[in-house]
Structure 1
């Protein structure tokens, strides 16, 4: 298979990577990677804070207008491209998938933050005015002392907590640890099983709750039914496969456990409004 969307490794985009993390000014990062405007994926976590500039950036086929004090988070494997305009500035942080592995008691702790939910709409948001000076100061100290790996980990977690506290999260999640954990477990289960499990009742059984409880939770917090969330994950993987490699439509249908190609095409068109072939032509 010929890869259409390359995977970018951290050593390709960052100089002097220390202990699995790099923190640098956005202007210098872009000057060194000015040709990296084509669609690409990372094999590391990537976050970027804009303090100046404009244009657009796209994550997993969703496009955002850039404004100062916007921040975005990306997990390994997501497809990304950008088109920046004007004088850009801010901060870039890239860190390896295993950066916190030996530091935290819970290996999945990073996934508890809303901006690592795997849902693009949670990954792009504005830093509120009251926190901007503190966030910038922490980024600057992180940049200065990133060679101290434990300091870097603590500083990065501090930034995550500052940002999580200011998010406009649904009321159901603000003080409800149980619902937050339940939703995170549901999304994690989808990530592991979306190719084989397509019905909310299957996930509800794994979570030891009723399908009605799961649907009510998803509608209250995410504004979508559990079934829609599952289907959207299948659609996202279809879109990634359509642009990543030279798979035939039949091969993609088989990869995603569809037994009938015509049903697969109908499923995709219902969700995206175009056929898989039309989507591929538009994005390649």
Structure 2
């Protein structure tokens, strides 16, 4: 079987924190799919079409902010748009004490957070403070204070996003955390309902009210994201990927993948080589 190329990984090297405008970033080729080894806040400053997060397209629009989690796959084909970018190492991210601020990076809903007109100037000034501190004294305490302030504003604004607003429900946050940890081995709704202390029927009702999805569909989403990552940029065979993702065999995995995407795993791999 022909092996695929490993996906490029963009790293911060020895930095824990890095803030920059687009033109100052030189981590690798952003136009092709790449996995990021950090957490990122990307605030677009112009309208330039589309970018891709975990192979799904999202609009590049002025004053739309995207939060990317470590290990997500990103691509920004075409002209690189104007943007403000903050990149956080895992160590810096883990030291953020507020659970709410860390959780808005959860890679389930990747839609952007819109900054309203009246907040553009205040948040621009806050970004400039972050940039100045990062380029001068680089005091970790101040960077934490400024970054927490920016994330808190984004957390507030995320209430206006249908998908991200679900993160403000403690029961759903717990569910997302459980699924992200156990989706490869636990496919039944009852497992997650029991951990949360609800019936399977009730947790499904909550998820459908908030997201118009079932718990099973959430599990499928996590599985599909990882499947796409592995198929596109892994040297593993489809049989190995199937077993790692909790399927009984390659045929079960292939049926699942085609049902969810309309493509066979083989075709998806060929088109993403």
Common fold, TM-score beyond 0.5?
Answer: yes
**Residue of structure 2 aligned with 1:25, choices 6, 21, 46:** 21
> RMSD across aligned C-alpha pairs, in angstroms?
2.4
How big is the shift at 1:166?
2.0
**1:62-211 matched pairs, under 5 angstroms:** 62-85=56-79, 88-102=81-95, 104=97, 108-113=99-104, 116-122=105-111, 124-146=112-134, 147-167=138-158, 168-170=160-162, 180-211=169-200
TM-score (norm 2): 0.89
Runs of at least 4 residues off by over 3 Å: 32-36, 100-103, 108-112, 169-174
Structure 1 unmatched runs, 5+: none
2:59, 2:18 → 1: CA distance?
A: 25
Match of 1:4 in 2: 6
The normalised TM-score by structure 1 is 0.86
Q: Secondary structure at the match of 1:52?
A: coil
Provide closer, same or farther for how the CA distance between residues 220 and 51 of structure 1 changes in structure 2, counting only shifts above 3 A.
same
Q: Deviations over 1:174-201 (max 9, x none)?
A: 9x96xx1111110010111001100111
Match of 2:238 among 243, 249, 252: 249
Structure 2 distance, partners of 1:3, 1:221, is 39
Q: Distance in 1 between matches of 2:37 and 2:70?
A: 5
Q: Describe the shift of the 1:255–1:160 C-alpha distance in structure 2 as closer, same or farther (beyond 3 A).
A: same
Q: CA deviation at 1:228?
A: 0.5
Report the Cα distance in structure 1 between the residues aligned to 2:254 and 2:222, rounded to whole angstroms.
16
